Amino acid sequence: MGPVTPRSVLRYETWTLQPGREPDAEPVLYAMQCALDGETSPTSEDFTEPQNWVLRHCSQNPSHHTYWEIITRPWRTWRQT
């Protein structure tokens, strides 16, 4: 009998990706960023706070009209059986 060579065993599985909605999942966080000067609002679980920041920021900087919404959302993967 010759030398034993290792063999690979492949197992294909189907994985699913979805937003994390478990009770212990991290919260969804919102922030806004000014596209002109890069200043960013505080991060909050409530979108009202970043929205109020935008309104204050544009009142203090009348030429700043464009903003980016930043959403941090937890995601999870799991194997389908």
User: Quick one: pLDDT at residue 1?
Assistant: 62
SS (H, E, C) 56-70: HHHHHCCCCCCEEEE
Which two structure tokens, joined as six digits, stand for 60? 């203090």
How does pLDDT run along the chain (81 residues), one tens digit per residue?
Answer: 678 888 887 788 899 999 999 999 999 999 999 999 999 999 999 999 999 999 999 999 999 999 999 999 999 998 987
* Separation in Å, CA 24 to CA 20, 46, 50, 66: 9, 18, 24, 35
The domain limits of the chain are: 27-75
